[in-house]
Amino acid sequence: MNAIDNNPPRFTDVLIAAARIAAHARLTPIATSRSLDAISGAHLHFKCEQLQRVGAFKFRGACNAVFALDADTASRGVVTHSSGNHGAALALAAQLRGIACHVVVPEGAVLSKLEAIEASGAVLHRCAANLSAREAACASVQADTGATLVHPYTTLEVIAGQGTAALELLTAHPDLDTLVVPVGGGGLAAGTALAMQALAPRCQLYLAEPAGADDAARSFARGVLDHDVVPDTICDGLRAGMGAINFEILGSSNARVLTVEDVQTIAAMRLLWSRGKQLVEPSSATVLAAVLANSALFEGRKVGLILTGGNVDLDALPQLFALAG
């Protein structure tokens, strides 16, 4: 794939992405916890993407997209819209390649995440907190600069890059029974499905989704994309509606959606810190929350869970943990 390809991504594209980003992305560890195994009744293997560069799996897809561009296209820079991790990831990838990066950020974005984006040299463009405003601002930047749009979860190189996390996990543990990933826009979920179909076709894929942003659950139930949900969740990384290409890929992967309440997610986040010694964002903790809330599905099974990010607002932790009692 080069720049924006119109063909759906395949497993070979995940392999190409793995080779392309190998010099830049970290091979993150896979953690276990006897304590969390005892609590869940399952054998849990956590892929620790909170230890990835910029503190999130998003660097994989952004890095693949940036380094897939030909020299002439890259010279005009890249642009995206993001409230956090994808923006920081694209900014760092662009910095590594020595090209310009523009990030459209909505009002109300977490200050620490905006600081991370700026720290890698990206130019911030503010807009209203809705998708149409984001897209309009991106189009304006593209018109002014000629920059290439690297969408947070539907650019095909991004999807393939995100799939490298599951590629690493399944290469290390090819006997996993199930794999659980958070779902928002669906880039990670779709990339994971591509890796699973090739490496572990008998493995069951579960998508952990906040009940307050359950467009994926509604879409799978109806068989068509449902973008009528107004997100109301503490999981800021999972508020985006699922992309059409990701819905198509996941529809052929027998993926199941498990919704969790925010209070369950925060309780899981607290457990990951106190028992697993893993500090992760609420969006990441949805995977453990889904396992604990659906113990009959996972009991006795070998389960892979992708912890997607660790960019936590430390000042807000006491208030967050208070929500879980």
Contact assessment for residue 273 and residue 279, using Cβ atoms and an 8 Å cutoff: yes
What pLDDT was estimated at residue 236?
Answer: 87
DSSP string, 236-260: GGG-SPPPHHHHHHHHTTT-EEEEE
What pLDDT was estimated at residue 2?
Answer: 41
Task: Tell me the CA distances in angstroms from 7 to 149, 191, 241, 260, one per residue in order.
Answer: 17, 14, 21, 34
Chain centroid to Cα 254, Å, comes to 19
User: What SS3 class is residue 111?
Assistant: helix
Nearest Cα residue to 3 out of 153, 176, 148: 148
* Total-model pTM: 0.94
- Residue that has been written with the tokens 């009991």 in this structure: 299
Tokens at 34, concatenated: 């006897």
Single-letter code of the amino acid located at 235: C
Alpha carbon distance 321, 82 (integer Å): 26
With a CB cutoff of 8 Å and minimum separation 6, the contacts of 74 are 66, 97, 99, 148
What pLDDT was estimated at residue 325?
Answer: 64
Q: Give the mean pLDDT per block of 10 residues along the chain (325 residues).
A: 63 98 98 98 98 97 98 97 91 97 88 84 90 91 96 96 98 98 97 97 97 96 91 90 95 95 96 96 97 98 97 75 69
- Helices assigned H by DSSP within the chain: 11-21, 34-40, 58-68, 71-74, 85-97, 111-119, 131-145, 156-172, 187-199, 215-222, 244-251, 262-274, 282-293, 295-298, 317-323
Contact assessment for residue 192 and residue 200, using Cβ atoms and an 8 Å cutoff: no
What pLDDT was estimated at residue 319?
Answer: 72
Tell me how crowded residue 221 is: count the other CB atoms within 10 A of its CB: 11
DSSP string, 7-19: SPP-HHHHHHHHH
